[in-house]
Structure 1
Amino acid sequence: MGPVRKQKNPLQGVVHWVKKQPPKIKVALGVAAGILSLILLRLVVQDHDNLFVAAESVHAIGILVLIYKFTKEKTCAGLSLKSQELTAIFLAVRLYCSVVMEYDIHTILDSMTLITTLWVIYTIRFKLKSTHLAEMDNLPIYYVLIPCALLALIVHPKTSHHIVNRIFWAFCVYLEAVSVLPQLRVMQNTKVVEPFTAHYVFALGIARFLSCAHWVLQMLDSRSFLFSALGYGLWPSMVLLSEIVQTFILADFCYYYVKSVYDGQLMVRLPSGVV
C-alpha cells in the first residue's frame, strides 16, 4: 500500500493559483471580488447608511491599534506624521461641515476620531519623536493640500448651503481620498511594514471600501435622493470618484497584507513599486 497523500486545502489551491497570475489578471480578479462584495453587502445590509457608520468605526479601531502600539512598544516607527496631520485636517473640516449643515451620528463619530487623531499627532511629535523616521516621511504636505483646495474651488456641491461651506465640504472629501499618500510613501521607502502599522493601514483600507460601498449602493438604490442631497453637476460624480480612488490607492497594500497573514508572516514585505 502506497503512502497516503495529504489532501490539498481548496483555499490553498486558489491562493496558490492567484499568486501565479500576472498583475493584470490579479487586478481583474480584485475588481471582480469588489463587485461580488458590493452585491453581498446590498443583499445583507438594508440601511446603506450603516456602511458609512461602519467605515468610521473601522477607522477608529485602526487608531486604537496605533494607541496600543505606542503604549506597548514605545515607538512610532513606520508611521507617517504627515498622513495623521492630513487626517486631522479633513476630519476637522468635515466636523465643521457636519455641525453647520446636518448634525447627526457622523458628527459624534468624527469628533471622537478627531480627538484620538490629535492625540496620535501629539504622541509622535513630542513623546516618541526620537523614533519617528522623519527622513522617510518625505512627501511635502502641500503636494496634497493645494490640489485638493484648487479642485474644491472648481467642483463643489450645488446645494442651498453657503458657498464657503460647500467648498469646505468638497475640500474634505478630496483630502480624505488622498490623505494616506504620505503613509504609502513611508512604506514605499522602508519596503517592510511592521505588524501594528500594517494592521492600521489595513483598517484604513477596509474603512475606505465600506465608505465607497455606501456611496455606490446609495447611487444604485436611491439616485433621486442622492442627487437631492448632493446637488447636480459634476459634484456627485466627483464624490463617487473620490471614494473609488481612495479604495484603489490602498488595494495593493491590502492584497500583500492578506498574503502575509495567510503565509504566517508578521511583517508585510512590499515589492518595489507597489505603493
Structure 2
Amino acid sequence: MGSFDDEEKKSMGGLRLKTQKWIGARSPKQKAALGVGAGLMVLLLLWLTIENHDNLFVTAETVHFMGIGVLVYKLSQEKTCAGISLRSQDLTALFLAIRLYCSFVMEYDIHTILDLLTLAATLWVQYTMRFPLKATYNDELDTLKTHYVVIPCLVLAFIAHPGTSHNFVHRILWAVCVYLEAVSVLPQLQMMRKAQVVERFTAHYVFALGIARFLSCAHWLLQILDGDSFLLTALGSGLWPIMVLLSEIVQTFILSDFCYYYVKSFSEGGSVVRLPADTV
C-alpha cells in the first residue's frame, strides 16, 4: 500500500513539473490567454455553485481583512516591516476612511463593519511601520509618490461619479474611493518589482488582495450573467456604472501577474516568491 502511494505521489509530482515547464515555455500573450481562460472557468464554477452572488462581495472584503491580518502577524512576530509598502498602506487607509464616511452618510450594512475592522488593522500597520519598526522599513524601494495616484483618481472622480440624489461632495468622495481602491496596491507592486524577492508573509498578503479583487469582480460579472435588470439598466445609463465595473477588472488584472508567480513559487516548494525584473 505504501509503495503504491509513493508511486502515485511521484506520478503527481512529475505531472506538476511537466505542467509548470509547459506553462513556463509559453509566451507572455499565451500565458495571459491561459490566465483569462482559467479565470473564466472559475467564474463559471462560481456561477453554477453559489446561489446568492452577493455573498461573493462580503467574502472579498473578508479576505482583504484576513490579508491585513497576515501583515499584523508579520509585524508583531517577526518585528520587521521589510518588503511592505507604507505608501500602499496609506492609500488603503485613505480609501477605507472615505468609504466608511460615505457608508455612514449614504448607506450602512455588513460592508461598513468589515471596512471598519480592515481600517483599524491598516492603521495599526501604519503606526507600527512609522514608529516601532521604522528602522526596518525599505523606504529606498517604496518610491511611488502617493499624490501620483491620488490626483488622477480625484480628476477622474469629477469626470465620472454617481448620479444619485446624495450631496455632490459625497458622490465625488465615493468615486474617489472606488478609483483609489483599484490602484492602491501599485506602490506595493512597484516595491516588489524592485526587490524581485518577496518574503512569504508579504506574498500571502498581496495574494489575498488578488483573491479579494477577483471575488469582487466576479460578484459584478455574475450579476450581469444573472440578467440583473437594475444593473443592466445602470450600465447603459451613463459613464459611472461602466467605470465601476472597469475599476473592478483593472484591480484584478493588476494583481493577476503576481498571483501567477505566487502559485508557481509555492507549488515548487519555495518559501519566497521570486519575480522576474519585468513583472508588474
Scaled to the shorter chain, the TM-score interval is over 0.9
**1:52 corresponds to:** 57
Deviates more, 1:139-148 or 1:157-166: 157-166
**1:132 corresponds to:** 137
2:74 matched to 1:69? yes
Query: Matches of 1:258 and 1:225 in 2, distance apart?
Result: 37
Q: Which of 250, 253, 268 in structure 2 is aligned with 1:248?
A: 253
**2:217 corresponds to:** 212
Aligned-pair CA distance for 1:225: 2.2
Query: Matches of 1:240 and 1:98 in 2, distance apart?
Result: 19
Aligned-pair CA distance for 1:231: 8.8
Q: Which of 175, 200, 204 in structure 1 is aligned with 2:205?
A: 200
Runs of 4+ in 1 over 4 A off after TM superposition: 227-231
SS in 2 for 1:135: coil
Encode CA deviations 1:169-223: one digit per residue, 9 max, x unaligned: 1110000000000001110111110111001010111011011111111222243
Which residue identity is paired with 2:195? T
SS in 2 for 1:127: coil
Query: Matches of 1:136 and 1:12 in 2, distance apart?
Result: 34
2:37 matched to 1:32? yes
Query: Matches of 1:61 and 1:75 in 2, distance apart?
Result: 19
Which residue identity is paired with 1:58? V
Query: Matches of 2:229 and 2:17 in 1, distance apart?
Result: 45
2:217 matched to 1:224? no
| 1:247-266 matched pairs, under 5 angstroms | 247-266=252-271
**2:120 corresponds to:** 115
Q: Which of 72, 84, 89 in structure 2 is aligned with 1:84?
A: 89
Cα contact 2:102–2:173 (8 A) shared by 1: yes
Cα contact 2:235–2:242 (8 A) shared by 1: no
Task: Tell me the TM-score normalised to structure 1 length.
Answer: 0.94
Aligned-pair CA distance for 1:15: 2.7
Q: Report percent identity of matched pairs.
A: 65
Query: Matches of 1:222 and 1:156 in 2, distance apart?
Result: 24
* Number of residue pairs aligned between Structure 1 and Structure 2: 272
Q: Which of 105, 112, 115 in structure 2 is aligned with 1:100?
A: 105
Ranges in structure 2 where 5+ consecutive residues have no aligned partner: 1-6
Which residue identity is paired with 2:199? E
**1:272 corresponds to:** 277
Could you say what the CA RMSD is over the residues aligned between the two structures, in angstroms? 1.8
Deviates more, 1:224-233 or 1:36-45: 224-233
Aligned-pair CA distance for 1:227: 5.5
Cα contact 1:55–1:208 (8 A) shared by 2: yes
Query: Matches of 2:220 and 2:137 in 1, distance apart?
Result: 36
